[in-house]
Amino acid sequence: MQRKGLGVAVVGSGRMGSLRASLAAVHPAVAFLAVSDADRDRARGLAEKTGAQFYSDDNLEVISRPEVNAVIVSTSESAHALPVIQALELGKSVLVEKPIAMSLKDADHMLRVVAQTRGDLRVGYSRRFKRSYLLAKEQVLAGRLGQIVGATLRAYNSRAQTLQVLERSPDATPVTFGMTYYVDIICWLLQGNPVVEVVARGQKGVLKAAGYKADDVTWAILTFADGAVVNLGADYALPANYPTFGANSRVELLGTEGVILIDDDNKDQIVYTERGIPHSYVPGHSLNTAFMGSTASGDWAQGDFWGPLADETRSWLDHLATGRPCSLTTAADARRTLEITLAIEQAALSNQTIKLPL
């Protein structure tokens, strides 16, 4: 029953940082909240909205506040490393958004600092906190599938959201920012069984026409150390008005004693309106028909935010306040997931079989 009070700094006051800060602001263990962003007005706006006691356009200023013992880094994909390292060096616990970094060099630097400081770094793979995936993990842990010999995981999203991500992070691809969730899921389910080989193919289309290096579609086959074969696929360039707010997937786990099928396309919850529903991620974009519940992070309803990112944030704050274990991805696991996504890109680009570790 021991409780530790928390002071939280949120670095990056964009879409995810705003959600994390709103959730931290109402968590009972949190007594102090500070927010920062490279864009000072954005940090000020979020501080006003959440009642944060402090804001700045200087990340280190919020990270090093004496009241702060927990730091959430929600900056763009390529700007994760520096604030994470600064926070770890000051002895603060850190949650960083996925992917841990865009390069193995940055990820390895972060892992070295974790080891040197004996730090606590977790990575926000919030898909784990969607109930169906938590339940799948539970069934696997109980041994109900026997030996998992294969799996298929595929994810779809519309180009409307993908183009938003590529605009801020042109080096990212649907593999490194989207398929990465499903690499995390399958490696979590097959924990202790590393990927040893990757083959993949990709095809270019509308993302290339928009000036980016990313493929529209990528299909990969991963082989795990015990021989399990796993098919991963993603098309993040479906037409802009495809009725999704972000996450549509299908996950099938095939074991010697059991099978799990997760239909996560959200086709069972549809809303249609002549008035249009604003897309939660893409400013100015609205849909007439939409799969409800297809926003990856979750949804606002009745004044609260509900869904995977809410449960993940609460679980992390509970973990820090009470010391109870949590299922958030560790830094080492996130580094492994980054390596696999980079291998998938390399395999698709070269048409070669890629052996892991790289």
> Which residues lie near ligand NAD (CB under 6 A)?
11-17, 36-39, 42, 59, 74-77, 79, 97-98, 124, 126, 168, 177, 296-297, 309
Least Å from the CB of residue 53 to ligand NAD: 19
Residue 178 CB, shortest distance to ligand NAD, in Å, is 9
Q: Which is nearer to ligand NAD, 136 or 172 (CB)?
A: 172
> Is residue 185 within 8 Å of residue 153, measured between CB atoms?
yes
CB of 339 to ligand NAD, least distance (A): 17
Q: Which is nearer to ligand NAD, 54 or 224 (CB)?
A: 54
**C-beta closer to ligand NAD: residue 18 or 148:** 18
Of 22 and 59, CB closest to ligand NAD: 59
CB of 177 to ligand NAD, least distance (A): 5
Q: Which is nearer to ligand NAD, 168 or 355 (CB)?
A: 168
Residue 12 or 119: the one with the smaller Cβ distance to ligand NAD is 12
Q: Which is nearer to ligand NAD, 38 or 277 (CB)?
A: 38
Min. distance of Cβ 46 from ligand NAD in angstroms?
9
307: region left, alpha or beta (phi > 0 left; psi from -120 to 50 alpha): left
Residue number of the CB closest to ligand NAD reads: 14
Rounded Cα distance, 130 and 126, in Å: 7
Q: Pick from 176, 207, 224: which is nearest to 344 by CA?
A: 176
192 or 283: CB nearest ligand NAD: 283
Q: How far is the CB of 152 from ligand NAD (least distance, A)?
A: 22
State the burial class of residue 325 (Cβ atoms within 10 Å of its Cβ: 0-12, 13-18, 19+): exposed
CB of residue 219 vs ligand NAD: minimum separation in angstroms?
22
Nearest approach in angstroms of CB 349 to ligand NAD is: 22
Closest CA to 182 of 215, 201, 162, 154: 154
